[in-house]
Amino acid sequence: MTKTITKADLVKAIYTNVGISSAEAGRIVVSIFEEIVDTLKDGECVKISNFGSFYAKQKKARVGRNPKTSEAFEIASRKVVSFYPANLLKYRINK
């Protein structure tokens, strides 16, 4: 199994490579995540050049089924986030 990158890993990479304090790197990472979330909540997309795009989509309410009992229940309408990778990202992953 591959390693999962955590927020702490991102903070460490920033303060190691940029040379700023760990606390400042943590504030930067949190600030970036908050900006992405706020933009998606406003219904806008987030495009990161050469990485990809995040979109918030509204899904309609629908009827679902419990696979064990076949009992029907309603799944409420909700927003979901979709990610579409940029061509450069797909190329770099597959090379």
Q: Are residues 15 and 53 in the same domain?
A: no
Is residue 38 domain-shared with residue 49, that is, in the same domain?
Answer: no
Query: Does 27 share its domain with 15?
Result: yes
- Answer yes or no: do 32 and 68 share one domain: no
Residue 2: predicted pLDDT: 79
Residues 50 and 15 grouped into a single domain:
no
The pLDDT of residue 8: 94
Residue 82 is predicted with a pLDDT of 96
Number of Cβ atoms within 10 Å of the Cβ of 86: 15
Looking up residue 55, the CATH number of its domain turns out to be 4.10.520.10
> What parts of the chain have a pLDDT lower than 70?
1
Within 10 angstroms of residue 31's Cβ, the number of other Cβ atoms is 10
Count of structural domains within the chain: 2
Per-residue confidence (pLDDT) for residue 1, from 0 to 100 = 61
* 23 and 51 in a common domain: no
Let me know whether 31 and 76 are in one domain. no
Token pair belonging to 43: 């219904």
Query: Would you state the structure tokens that stand for residue 46, as one six-digit string?
Result: 């987030």
Same domain, residue pair 50 and 40: no
Enclosing domain of residue 40 = 1-44
pLDDT in tens, 5-29: 999 999 999 999 998 999 999 999 9
